[in-house]
Amino acid sequence: MAKHLFISDLHLAPERPDIVSLFIEFLHNQAAQAESLYILGDLVEYWLGDDDNALGLSQAFDAMKKLADNGLKIYLMHGNRDFLMGEKLAARCGCELIHEPYIANFDNTSVLLLHGDVLCTDDLRYQELRLMLRNPTWQADFLSKPLAEREQMALTLRKQSKEETQLKSSDIMDVNETAVNDAFIDNNVSIMIHGHTHRPNVHISKINNKVVKRIVLGDWYSQGSVLEFNNPENYKLRHFS
């Protein structure tokens, strides 16, 4: 039976070498046994463009490429921290870039894949920022700047985001129920997988008398989190260290 793995919100960074090592171990021991690996955003803490020096991350990228060369299909989606990852990095890691909303098919069942931040519509300030950061004109202007200047701008944005997050209620930073329902309806699916909120769980509800399932992936701050998905009725969301 084909096994597909889903992860998100690893936030790999040189300041967290233990998590980088855990990811490499995960690739060797778990991903190597799977048919495909889906990374649904925020693989790294932040990404300044494909000329980023990737300090402390080269071993992880090399491990991904080696597995891809050996036949593992790796799909990489942008998150809110690494939305500037491009085709050059994807090639370096042996990944295929996918863009949300992305519909995957498993056992003739369509599954909606998202990073998840687009569902957090109650956080109006964040959605305004997201709209600016995803604008192609803004991105082209940002990428035209020297790497050192981009790094300083990113540090400023991260500091500002951290300060604002501390002032927000937890409900505002979670998904909006109407946005979730609309995503199910607009994409005509009954299963959704996403990350971003760092609240791993399986939510089952009904929309228009149809049972739907929303699987939320966990983050990789103190441990690993992975969804093992064989088919819509055979899956396991688990943590590991």
Distance CA 195, CA 71 (A): 25
- What does the pLDDT read at residue 116? 97
Confidence band of 89 (pLDDT split at 50, 70, 90) = very high
Bridge partners (DSSP) listed for residue 63: none
**Residue 188 to residue 182: CA distance in whole angstroms:** 10
- Distance CA(201)–CA(118), nearest Å, equals 18
pLDDT above 80 for 168:
no
When mean pLDDT is compared across 64-73, 151-160, 179-188, 221-230, the lowest value belongs to 151-160
Counting every residue written for the chain, the total comes to: 241
Three-state SS sequence of 176-195: CHHHHHHHHHHHCCCEEEEC
Residue with tokens 């020297």: 146
Distances (CA, A) of 117 to 57, 109, 141, 186: 24, 24, 23, 17
What mean pLDDT, rounded, does the chain reach? 93
- The domain 4-240 is classified under which CATH number: 3.40.50.150, 2.60.40.1080, 3.30.499.10, 3.60.21.10? 3.60.21.10
If one compares 76 and 162, the residue with the highest pLDDT of the two is: 76
The residue type at 15: E
With CA atoms as reference, report the closest residue to 196 among 178, 175, 180, 225: 175
- Give the pLDDT confidence of 110-147 residue by residue, as tens digits: 999 999 999 999 999 999 999 999 999 999 999 999 99
Whole-model pTM: value is: 0.94
What is the per-residue pLDDT for 1?
59
- Cα 225 to the chain's mean position, in Å? 12
For residues 97 and 118, give the distance between their C-alpha atoms in angstroms, rounded to a whole number. Answer: 18
pLDDT digits 0-9 by tens, 180-228: 999 999 999 999 999 999 999 999 999 999 999 999 999 999 999 999 9
Q: Are 121 and 84 a contacting pair, CB within 8 Å? A: no
Neighbours of 217 (CB within 10 A): 28
Band (173; pLDDT cuts 50, 70, 90): confident
Q: 21 — phi, psi (to 5°)? A: -65, -40
Provide the pLDDT for residue 165: 73
State the pLDDT at residue 78: 97
The ranges assigned to domains in the chain are 4-240
Cis peptide before 101 (omega within 30 of 0): yes
Mean pLDDT for the stretch of residues 5-9:
98
Mean per-residue pLDDT, 42-56 = 93
* Selected residue with higher pLDDT from 163 and 65: 65
Which is higher by pLDDT, 159 or 166? 159
With beta carbons less than 8 A apart as the criterion, state whether 202 and 213 touch.
yes
